[in-house]
Chain A
């Protein structure tokens, strides 16, 4: 196991940790990943008792740059509203860890990594990974950092799925959990939207059966379309209407297929910028991991059984009124199961018209709820 430390300009400590053949990652599919690399950022200082660590698992297309400048886009961290010195997740108080998921494309082992048996990028030879695999890799990282118990795991969307998986697989390593705008299993509609995205990628002639790297091309068009379709699911109808309505880009219609409407131009921009920072195969693998996510499945279909060992974990579940991707009903299923398992669960549905993406935006009520929960939980943990 070796690590090379890279101090990033924005204050976070960026590092890649490598687990050799002595510590392979055993995947849910039965496959084994030798030579596992996990890229991660840390913020703040681990206290002497090692009780102040917060892990923030990221969502589908996000990464470890939760509170530091993204190296490719130059944009600020994706949750700087929440994470940083003096912020809600106060890096003067907590030691924050955010790692790129296994299967990702920002430094952790994924389909664009080199396959040791061929010396070429894995492509589709990369094994299918699951949310459980992502969490298992994170647990290896946490152990390597010498942390026995995380004070909290906090995540939204796919990050929330990892939060739930943590509570099910490692309840003894967890003091509290915040799961935002998420679900315990992917619905038919969730899978359907992901399939549209994957088909868009695979329909791009430059995808080349996943071996585009060897050919020196990239399926940018397909990936951009996938992003455009997915982006619509992150917003509410109201938010789209308010932002764009039927506003035109120029005076009058083109009577053709240019981006006449502002909403078209916006989506095209989302697609085009996305391909600069994301790998098409990683998109296939991570969406697949989400589609396979079904927490109750291994527990006879009973989600409450999954949470049975997590009775000492303090849970906070949050949802948004206008989130139709992971609607409140999904969070209520989680809360009902937590109640049935006798877990300490809190739940709040936050009024917002911003759709699924609300968890990344300035939502004072979400911030107030998280702050209240974290502060009270920190007091219980003896953190001041």
Chain B
């Protein structure tokens, strides 16, 4: 594989997790960087959903099949189990109904890959404790009144939601600050302190467990 040097850490992790040749739906695919990588490097059959006109236009020019729409409204248009993977990168916190979207991901696809900024990270907690104000960090750079992140959560909140929905966590990685992603046990309180971003591979319990071929390192298996 020839993954460019400057590839985002979460993209690298997703590239590692996704099975070659799989059917992939990237929700909120932006200008299609990740989808393009997946098509070229993993030979996936890729589709995208993107809200912005500029994003869709850029995807078209890349030869990607991308539909304009948003995660809150348009996931219902996809048939059940049409994909092997549904990707939702850094978008869950911006949707109106994260719980519903999460359920939709695992209806449409056998597995979901979800990443989000961890509101339990020490820098966020410190900001709130010290200043008594909504944190503005490198991960959450916009002030509260203009942020699109309306449903921020912590690692603990998210694992609770997964448990309540009966969703199985197949793998979890933390990343941030340009450092390589590291496999974590998301329910450990220390990870909720030190993980800046989290990326989950999720499935329904009736799905076959993740195969070794899916390149989850042994130390990352839960």
Q: Which residues of A contact B (CB under 8 A)?
A: 314-316, 332, 335-336, 339-340, 342, 344-351, 365, 368-369, 371-373, 375-377, 379-380
B residues less than 8 Å from A347 (CB atoms) = 56, 66-69
User: Closest 8 interchain pairs by CB?
Assistant: A372-B61, A376-B63, A372-B60, A336-B77, A344-B65, A347-B67, A373-B60, A348-B56
Can you list 17 pairs linking A and B with CB atoms under 8 Å apart? A332-B77, A335-B77, A339-B77, A340-B82, A342-B82, A346-B66, A347-B67, A347-B69, A348-B57, A348-B68, A350-B53, A371-B61, A372-B58, A372-B61, A373-B61, A376-B60, A377-B63
A residues less than 8 Å from B100 (CB atoms) = none
B78 in contact (CB, < 8 A): yes
- Contact code string B35-55 (vs A, CB < 8 Å = 1, else 0): 000000000000100000100
* A342-B47 Cα distance, complex, nearest whole Å: 10
Interface contact B68-A339, CB-CB below 8 Å: no
Q: Chain A's interface: helix, strand, loop or mixed, by majority?
A: helix
B173 in contact (CB, < 8 A): no
Least CB separation from B25: chain A residue:
A339
| Known contacts A335-B67, A345-B67, A347-B67; A365 and B57 CB within 8 A of each other | yes
Given A345-B47, A347-B56, A371-B61, 17 new contacts (CB under 8 A): A339-B77, A339-B79, A345-B67, A346-B56, A346-B59, A346-B64, A346-B66, A347-B69, A348-B57, A351-B53, A372-B58, A372-B61, A373-B60, A373-B61, A376-B64, A379-B63, A380-B63
Interface contact A346-B53, CB-CB below 8 Å: no
With beta carbons under 8 angstroms apart, the residue of B57, B63, B64, B79 that contacts A369 is: B57
* A305-B141 Cα distance, complex, nearest whole Å: 47
B96 in contact (CB, < 8 A): no
Q: Mark out the residues of chain B between 68 and 88 whose CB falls within 8 Å of any chain A CB in the assembled complex.
A: 68-69, 77-79, 82
Least CB separation from A304: chain B residue:
B79
Q: Which residues of B contact A (CB under 8 A)?
A: 47, 53, 56-69, 77-79, 82
A residues less than 8 Å from B62 (CB atoms) = 372, 376
Interface contact A346-B60, CB-CB below 8 Å: yes
B residues less than 8 Å from A340 (CB atoms) = 77-79, 82
B residues less than 8 Å from A369 (CB atoms) = 56-57, 60
* A26-B64 Cα distance, complex, nearest whole Å: 38
A residues less than 8 Å from B60 (CB atoms) = 316, 346, 348, 369, 372-373, 376
* A369-B58 Cα distance, complex, nearest whole Å: 8
B residues less than 8 Å from A316 (CB atoms) = 60
Q: How many A-B residue pairs have CB under 8 A?
A: 67
B residues less than 8 Å from A368 (CB atoms) = 57
A residues less than 8 Å from B64 (CB atoms) = 346, 376
Rounded to whole Å, the gap between the CB of A318 and the closest CB of chain B is: 10
* A27-B63 Cα distance, complex, nearest whole Å: 37
B residues less than 8 Å from A336 (CB atoms) = 77
| Known contacts A316-B60, A372-B61; A348 and B77 CB within 8 A of each other | no
Least CB separation from A375: chain B residue:
B61
Least CB separation from A366: chain B residue:
B57
Interface contact A339-B57, CB-CB below 8 Å: no
* A369-B62 Cα distance, complex, nearest whole Å: 11
A residues less than 8 Å from B47 (CB atoms) = 339, 344-345
B residues less than 8 Å from A314 (CB atoms) = 65
| Known contacts A316-B60, A365-B57; A346 and B79 CB within 8 A of each other | no
* A76-B62 Cα distance, complex, nearest whole Å: 33
Interface contact A339-B78, CB-CB below 8 Å: yes
* A373-B68 Cα distance, complex, nearest whole Å: 14
B residues less than 8 Å from A377 (CB atoms) = 63
Least CB separation from A337: chain B residue:
B77
A residues less than 8 Å from B69 (CB atoms) = 347
Interface contact B67-A346, CB-CB below 8 Å: yes
Rounded to whole Å, the gap between the CB of B141 and the closest CB of chain A is: 27
Rounded to whole Å, the gap between the CB of B13 and the closest CB of chain A is: 27
Interface contact A339-B63, CB-CB below 8 Å: no
Rounded to whole Å, the gap between the CB of A77 and the closest CB of chain B is: 25
A residues less than 8 Å from B67 (CB atoms) = 335, 339, 345-347
* A351-B57 Cα distance, complex, nearest whole Å: 13
With beta carbons under 8 angstroms apart, the residue of B57, B65, B78 that contacts A372 is: B57
* A315-B65 Cα distance, complex, nearest whole Å: 8
B residues less than 8 Å from A344 (CB atoms) = 47, 65
* A315-B66 Cα distance, complex, nearest whole Å: 10
* A349-B52 Cα distance, complex, nearest whole Å: 10
Least CB separation from A332: chain B residue:
B77
* A8-B58 Cα distance, complex, nearest whole Å: 38
* A332-B63 Cα distance, complex, nearest whole Å: 20
* A332-B67 Cα distance, complex, nearest whole Å: 9
* A159-B62 Cα distance, complex, nearest whole Å: 26
Rounded to whole Å, the gap between the CB of B55 and the closest CB of chain A is: 10
